[in-house]
Amino acid sequence: MSSQGKILLKGNEVMSEAAIQAGCRFFAGYPITPQNEVPEYMSKRMPQVGGTFIQAESEIAAINMIFGASAAGARCMTSSSSPGISLKQEGISYIAAAQLPCVIANMQRGGPGLGNIRASQADYFQAVKGGGHGDYRLIVFAPSTLPELYKLTMNAFDYADYYRNPVMILGDGILGQMAEPVEILPYEPIVELPEKDFVLDGCKGRKPRVLKTLFLRPSMALVRHNDLLQASYKKITAELKLHEETETDDAELVIAAYGITARIAKGAVKIARQNGMKVGLIRPITLWPFPDEPFKRAARTADRFLVVEMSGGQFIEDVKLASECKKPVEFLGSGGGWYPTPDNIFEKIQTIYETEALVD
Amino acid sequence: MEFKRPTALLDACTHYCGGCGHGIVHRLVAEVIDELGIRQRTIGTAPVGCAVLLYDYFNCDIIECAHGRPPAVATGMKRVLPDRIIFTYQGDGDLAAIGTSETIHAANRGENITTIFINNAIYGMTGGQMAPTTMIGQRTTTTQDGRDITSEGPPIKVCELLSSLDGVAYLQRVAVSTAKDVIKAKKAIKKAFVNQIEGRGYSLVEVLSMCPTDWKLTPKQAVDFVNNEMKKVFPLGVYKDKK
Ligand SMILES: Cc1ncc(C[n+]2csc(CCOP(=O)(O)OP(=O)(O)O)c2C)c(N)n1
Ligand code: SF4
């Protein structure tokens, strides 16, 4: 199939168009900056493709509409930003428990509380470690450019269907607001999509189906259900870790960053290399499952890690776990609207080189 | 007339207490589903409350929702499957406390769904705490000296509240505390489903229903409580019937 050529779109619009291309036909959301372009775009596009757009009365209602739409068999999506994602946590837990596919986007902004509307990566724990109640996992994608946002959004629908698990696109205000030329490539499923044998569409020609998350009887029913969920998470962990490495082969210092921060860090790697410093970058593309192997490898070959993130230090915990704390992990980050430039990161690299005397 | 179990009900013994109104309303809903021949295209939503185990009793597709969220879940389902029949079955805590927002907005959007609202003036499942519909002076485990209007406010009258919304198609309050009431309740429930089949929009039937256990009354006293106390505060009747 031929592509429709490159067009200049904002990140929020890129993600929305990718969803439409991937066959998303139900969107519910509630306005919040910096993701307002998503509901705005969807309100215009959904009717054009015969889909449904609903401006919900709250993020709680929106995520529950997704619960219903997914149960009814639609490819569906909701998006929000940090405070709104907090409100969605109840629904996310139910959706994960019922093993319903859907895509949830968080264009993160500053927190805690109302925070501000600048970009942030402070919802890492919420996205990756839980957020809602109970033992569940979200598949979390962290795109770092708009073409990647386009591709991963499409993939998110496939993985959600394939694993019957909600997928979160963890972006941020910069990714959502920036504009870049993006090629609107046609959708091709990247996995063989299973039949949706859970859909509630009336019991014509079959036995009635029940979608539920309450398991009272027999007494071990919930344990069994949780074991089932864990088995699914194990499968996902074994199959879906994605990452990108830049110049890590001979690196003495390995930067770890994800999303937009990784894109900025790539610039710092370039500057460092121009200055004769052996610096590389590991960029997780999936934050859950976390790609631990590259960090294990780097812990053997490099001297030190440098984590860069737009938070007070959340992602760093997974880097330490993955690298088994075998090498020191430096940190550059802050919450609430701070973002790094390649020069900032390069300065930090210089400081590390000066004070820690990295040697081969 | 032969008295049989409706096809829309499973052959199961319910967990409801003796004298509880839920069982009667289940039967009425099932009879209506049978009479309209819609069982195989009906999807019910189970609330969080005493009726959470709805799916053990109804012989149709059921989705169990988070507390108060059935109107939003039903909205998602109905928009995806507009030719299916979607009903919510909700208690007063579910519909008029934690789910007030979802209720008002689904109603105001005129979602083409049917809501069966069980008003038993108390939280049944959690053991008898105050509901938004608990009446002034009514004792519950969280209003042990009786609901006090100065601190808890008066009971919320759902039909009256929703009647101001232009998007709503049909509102009726009924009871299941006398044989006559049961017959009227069934008619109202049937109309609420027919409205959906005909695409008229949001229809809600509020049912004054007995909860002898948490009212700490015998089944007979509970029936009297509905007839003598509840009907005074919650007058029966049609609150809206949009032509
Ligand atoms: C978010 C959340 N809060 C509280 C509860 C606990 N809870 C379960 S049922 C219920 C009240 C049910 O009362 P009602 O809706 O009136 O239904 P009834 O049991 O009387 O039929 C509550 C508060 C819950 N399950 N979820
Ligand atoms: S507690 Fe009340 S509402 Fe619940 S089953 Fe018993 S009588 Fe019915």
pLDDT in tens, chain A (360 residues): 445 679 999 999 999 999 999 999 999 999 999 999 999 999 999 999 999 999 999 999 999 999 999 999 999 999 999 999 999 999 999 999 999 999 999 999 999 999 999 999 999 999 999 899 999 999 999 999 999 999 999 999 999 999 999 999 999 999 999 999 999 999 999 999 999 999 999 999 999 999 999 999 999 999 999 999 999 999 999 999 999 999 999 999 999 999 999 999 999 999 999 999 999 999 999 999 999 999 999 999 999 999 999 999 999 999 999 999 999 999 999 999 999 999 999 999 999 999 876 544
We report the CATH number of the domain holding residue B85 as 3.40.50.970
User: To the nearest whole angstrom, how far is the Cα of B85 from the nearest Cα of chain A?
Assistant: 8
Secondary structure element (H or E) that encloses residue B108, with its range: helix B100-109
The pLDDT, as a whole number, for residue A2 is 45
pLDDT score of A197: 97
Per-residue pLDDT, A356: 74
Contact B76 A201 (CB under 8 A): no
DSSP secondary structure, A103-129, as one string: EEEEEEBS-STT--SSB--TTHHHHHH
pTM for the full predicted model: 0.97
Identity (one letter) of the amino acid at B55? Y
- Return d(Cα B166, Cα B150) in angstroms, integer: 31
How far does the CA of residue B100 sit from the closest CA of chain A (Å)?
A: 11
Of the CA atoms within 13 Å of residue A189, those in its CB half-sphere come to 12
Residue of B nearest to A69 (CA): B76
Q: Are A68 and B101 a contacting pair at CB < 8 A?
A: no
Residues 24-43 of A with CB under 8 A from B: 25-26, 28
CATH architecture for the domain at A244-356: 3-Layer(aba) Sandwich (3.40)
CA distance A46 to chain B (A): 12
Interface contact flag, A64 B72, Cβ < 8 Å = yes
Phi, psi torsion values for A263, nearest 5 degrees = -65, -40
Asked if residues A90 and A143 have their Cβ atoms less than 8 Å apart, the reply is no
Any domain includes B6: no
Q: Which residue has tokens 């049909």? A: B170
Supply the range of the domain harboring residue B216.
Answer: 22-241
Contact B40 A214 (CB under 8 A): no
The rounded Cα A56 to chain-centroid distance in angstroms is: 23
Which-ligand-closest: CA of B134?
1
Please tell me the distance in Å from B64's CA to the nearest CA on chain A: 5
B170 burial via Cβ count (<10 Å: 0-12, 13-18, 19+): buried
The rounded Å distance from CA B93 to ligand 1 centre is: 6
Cα separation, B82 vs B196, in Å, equals 10
Q: Is B155 domain-assigned?
A: yes
Instruction: Tell me the pLDDT tens digit for each residue of B33-45.
Output: 999 999 999 999 9
CA distance A49 to A306: 46
Quick one: CATH architecture of A6-183? 3-Layer(aba) Sandwich (3.40)
* Nearest ligand 2 atom to alpha carbon B22: 8
Question: Chain A residue closest to B64 (CA)?
Answer: A212
Amino acid at A189: P
Which residue on chain B is closest to A212 by alpha carbon? B64
Q: Which two tokens stand for residue A181?
A: 């030329």
Determine which residue's CA is closest to atom 22 belonging to ligand 1.
B126
Q: What is the structure's pLDDT at A132?
A: 97
B239 Cβ closer than 6 Å to some ligand 2 atom: no
Q: Which among A67, A204, A208 is the nearest to B73, CB-wise?
A: A67
pLDDT at B223 over 60: yes
Q: What average pLDDT is seen over chain B?
A: 97
Q: Which of A28, A68, A76 sits opposite B74 (nearest CB)?
A: A68
Residues of A in contact with B82 (CB under 8 A): none
Per-residue confidence (pLDDT) for residue B237, from 0 to 100: 98
A69: closest CA of chain B, how far (Å): 4
Q: Does some domain include residue B15?
A: no
Buried b (16+ CB within 10 A) or exposed e, A5-42: eeeebbbbbbbbbbbbbbbbbbbbbbebebbbbbbbbb
**Structurally, how many domains does chain B consist of?**
1
Q: Is residue B17 part of a domain?
A: no
Which residues of chain A neighbour B85 with C-beta distances below 8 Å? 202
Average pLDDT over residues B134-162: 98
Report the complex ipTM: 0.98
- Tell whether ligand 2 has an atom less than 6 A from the beta carbon of residue B122: no
Residues within a 6 A CB radius of ligand 1: B 48-51, 67, 91-94, 118, 120, 122-126, 131
Nearest atom within ligand 1 for CA of residue B50: 19
What's the CA-to-centroid distance between B44 and ligand 2, angstroms? 20
Q: Is B32:B190 a contact under the CB 8 Å cutoff?
A: yes
In chain A, where are the structural domains located?
6-183, 244-356
In the prediction, which pLDDT does A358 show? 57
The DSSP result for A278-320, as a single string, is: -EEEEEESEEES---HHHHHHHHH-SEEEEEESSSSSHHHHHH
Q: Say whether B76 and A28 touch across the interface (CB within 8 A).
A: yes
A214 touches B at CB < 8 Å = yes
Where do runs of H (alpha helix) occur along chain A? Answer: 11-21, 37-48, 59-71, 82-97, 124-129, 146-163, 173-177, 221-239, 259-274, 293-301, 315-322, 342-356
Hey, what are B227's tokens?
């007839």
Q: Whose CA is nearest to atom 5 of ligand 2?
A: B16
